[in-house]
Structure 1
Amino acid sequence: MKKENYLLAENLRHELHQHPELSYHETWTKQHLMDFLKEHTSLELHDGGKYFYAVYRAPSDCAAAGDKKAIAFRADFDALPIEDEIDKPWKSCVPGVGHKCGHDGHAAALCGLGLELMDMKPDRDVYMVFQHAEETGQGAVEAQQFIKDNPDIGEIYAFHNRPGEELGQIRISNTVANCASKGMSVYMKGTPTHASIPENGINPVFALTEIVRAIPEFTDPDAYEGLVLCTIVQLDVGDYAFGIAASEGVLRMTIRAEIEAEMDLLQKKIEDLAKAEAEKYGLQLKFEFEDVFPETRNDPHCVEKVHKAAEKLGYSVVESIASRGSEDFGYYTKLIPGAIYYIGGGVDKPSFHTSGFDFTDSIIENAVEMFKALIEE
């Protein structure tokens, strides 16, 4: 990577870090990225509303132009509601909001590729999608439209930084890279009564606790092919009032599975039990779902290309198992072959989603060189 291009990308990363924006509020971030590419490249820019994508067109006189399928890369750019406590000049200027997952670095690295393409001039078209709202799982649902609008795209790749791992090391799963997950809320409503005559009301606590009791059975690993988890995040029943029996409650869980179909099976088990308990006690029942992420499954051929690209660059490559954390990149790989991989940010770095985390600038170059090598595969 050219030094001047690296410095431009690094400075861009710092600017993004100083001005973090939460999912669906990334107005400044998106415009700043577009302005950067307008100023420093001649790439086509296509505004998708909350997201945008840039396109490099192979010169028409290239021998292979038109013969090769286009390749795409994705970067996310939303931040998290976490205070930034780094002691650096580019510390967040927004109280309570910080780039604590490294999406500032992902976006800056993809812009770095845009800079390099001006001199690289590959013989195939290259698409770069800059995506909002990865943290909610919904950004890719909307941004995947760019693939539907451009059927010439044959494959898509992305990287995620990985603090705590060897600097610059590539980690990739041969199959599922990230588990599917969703937030599931079970609402139950009965009838209120005075605490002295509970028999005159309907209290949902007994039905909700039956669901809680069933979780270990529903997640028995012997019943599934892959990892299946259910994490209870909240059980809220009634009010802080000793004279009133509880009449409304909600159980909130994160359900998660390595194989998306097995998450759906777990969901059905919970729903069926909730319906049976609601009928048994005469309760009103409602389900709500949010933060829905698919499984992110890597294509074997794309995984092979990642290995070859890393080996050509002399980067260490390690096979990894599926991450329990979720990633909306899976919405893209439902449409076309693709792969997501991790780049180590250094063993002594704070974990992402913590106040002390900061993206490791030096791996911008690793990311850009990997992108370039994948284009040539």
Structure 2
Amino acid sequence: MNSLTQLRHSLHQHPEIAGEETETAQRILEFFKPLQADEVIENLGGTGLAFIFKGKSSGKRLLFRCELDALPIVETGNPSYRSTIPGKGHLCGHDGHMAIICGLGEKLSQNRPESGEVILLFQPAEETGDGARAILEDSRFEQIKPDFAFALHNLPGYPLHQVVMRKGTFAAGSTGLTISLTGKTSHSAHPEAGINPAQAIAKLIQELPKLPQQAKGFALLTLIHAELGSLAFGTSAGKGNLSMTLRAFDQQDLDELIEKVKNKAEAIAKSERLKVEFSFVEQFAVSVNDPKLYPLVEKAVKGLSVNLVEKSEPFRWSEDFGLFSQICPSFLFGLGAGENCPQLHEGSYDFPDELIETGMGIFDRIVRNQSEGKS
């Protein structure tokens, strides 16, 4: 077993969820110590790390990003390196993504790029959508602001090693939204003396899912949770809330859908004499691939003789790498994890070790081709 596989298994055994990745970051720091990066930035955007490898001459700055965090999900598989942390597991493959970037670090340590700089970024809190924003808002990010940014994600359901690419939107943007309605409680024998949000919630459940039909492109509203009052049979409810996930393939469509939901909720709340408030969680920007970077990634993939497939439609799931595509030309691609591999976020999922070499090889070829002026 090579050092990268051992590292991946060690990371898998010690998962830390979003915002808690202190020990994970320390393991990565220990791995990089002998690699002698030219610069190291710690505690970036929280627990994040950036390792800077400088080329032999000036040129473009390339950033390769992976994720530090695991999920608050019980691992039900039984690998020899099973999670030792109850209720937490690397069930999205971020352990494998980290191993890939560590492997790229080894290659850069042995052979610096001909030109430019390479930034290896280990980002916290991808699963909550908070990590990328925290990285970009850290004042030290200006030191590593890239000309181009790259990332990959493993894809269960696709043949092992197959690369999935597309120009433009690769993955949807999404946000969690909760509408909170406040009225007035009363005795359930005299509901007319209070203001019950039940009718408003019923109207919202009926009308909100129709709003995405007005979008120019793909948009979706999924209701996920509703709550009204409490289980007190003598009381007519005075509070209620409705939660949903909104997603779209175009950032403008997503922003417009959010506004339409708010406008509809405000109108219904007003008609029912209710106070309305909105709260947002897990906000992910649309991940947009710059078409000009496509040939660079394509050449790297073909240089490895790996099968490449063009996806006709973007993925409906979200990735907070999307924020990077708002600050520089970026490219996110998929790496097949096997047609029979359990799906992401399932308790039995485990990142295939065979993908470490493939992902590392693609990223390394991107670096070499770019620094040598090839596309």
Give the TM interval when normalised to the shorter protein.
over 0.9
- 1:277 CA drift (Å): 1.6
Q: Does 1:20 align with 2:24?
A: no
Q: Deviations over 1:181-237 (max 9, x none)?
A: 1110000011111111111110001112211111242121xx323211111111100
Matched, 1:348 2:340: yes
| Counterpart position of 2:299 | 308
Deviations 1:332-371 (A, max 9, x none): 1111101000111111211110000000001000011001
Are the aligned partners of 2:17 and 2:70 in contact in 1 as well (CA < 8 Å)? yes
Give the Å deviation of 1:280.
1.4
From 336, 354, 358, the counterpart of 2:350: 358
Distance 1:23 1:188 in 2: 30
Report the Cα offset of residue 120 of structure 1.
Answer: 2.7
Counterpart residue identity of residue 154, structure 1: D
Match of 2:167 in 1: 174
CA distance in 2, matches of 1:211, 1:264: 19
Cα distance per residue 1:267-298 (max 9 Å; x no partner): 11111111112211211111100100100100
The counterpart of 1:98, out of the listed 83, 89, 92, is: 89
Q: Secondary structure at the match of 1:256?
A: strand
Tell me which moved more, 79-88 or 117-126.
117-126
Q: Which residue of 2 aligns with 1:141?
A: 133
Give the root-mean-square deviation of aligned CA atoms.
1.4
Instruction: Report what 1:62 is aligned to.
Output: none
Which aligned pairs between 1:122-201 and structure 2 lie closer than 5 A?
122-124=113-115, 125-144=117-136, 145=138, 147-151=141-145, 153-201=146-194
**Higher deviation after alignment, 90-99 or 123-132:** 123-132
Shift of 1:117: 1.4
TM-score (norm 1): 0.93
What does 1:291-302 correspond to in 2, within 5 Å? 291-302=282-293
Runs of 4+ in structure 1 deviating by more than 4 angstroms, as ranges, are 40-43
Q: Give the corresponding residue for 1:3.
A: none
Helix, strand or coil for the counterpart of 1:45?
strand
Please list, as runs of the form range in 1=range in 2, the aligned pairs for 1:217-256 lying within 5 A after superposition. Answer: 217-220=210-213, 223-256=214-247
| Structure 1 segment 46-65 matched on structure 2, within 5 A | 46-47=41-42, 48=44, 49-59=46-56, 65=57
C-alpha distance in structure 2 between counterparts of 1:317 and 1:41, whole Å = 34
- In 1: Cα distance, 2:249 partner to 2:62 partner: 27
| Structure 1 unmatched runs, 5+ | 1-5, 60-64
Structure-2 residue corresponding to 1:30: 25
- Of the three residues 290, 295, 310, the one matched with 1:319 is 310
Q: CA 1:174–1:121 in 2, change beyond 3 Å: closer, same or farther?
A: same
CA drift of 1:178 comes to 1.0
Q: Distance in 1 between matches of 2:152 and 2:307?
A: 15
Bigger strand share: 2
- For 1:40 and 1:85, how far apart are their aligned partners in 2? 35
- 1:95-122: per-residue Cα shift (whole Å, max 9, x none)? 1100010000001110010011122322
Paired AA for residue 184 in structure 2? T
For 2:141 and 2:40, locate their aligned partners in 1 and report how far apart those are by CA, in whole Å. Answer: 15
Give the secondary structure class of the aligned counterpart of 2:2: helix
Is the 2:119–2:144 Cα contact (8 Å) retained in structure 1?
Answer: no
Determine helix, strand or coil for the equivalent of 2:187.
coil
The 2-side partners of 1:38 and 1:376 are apart by: 23
User: In the aligned structure 2, how far is the partner of 1:351 from the partner of 1:43?
Assistant: 38
How many residue pairs are counted as aligned between the two chains?
363
Q: Percent identity?
A: 34
Q: Say whether the 8 Å CA contact 1:211–1:270 is kept in structure 2.
A: no
TM-score (norm: length of structure 2): 0.94
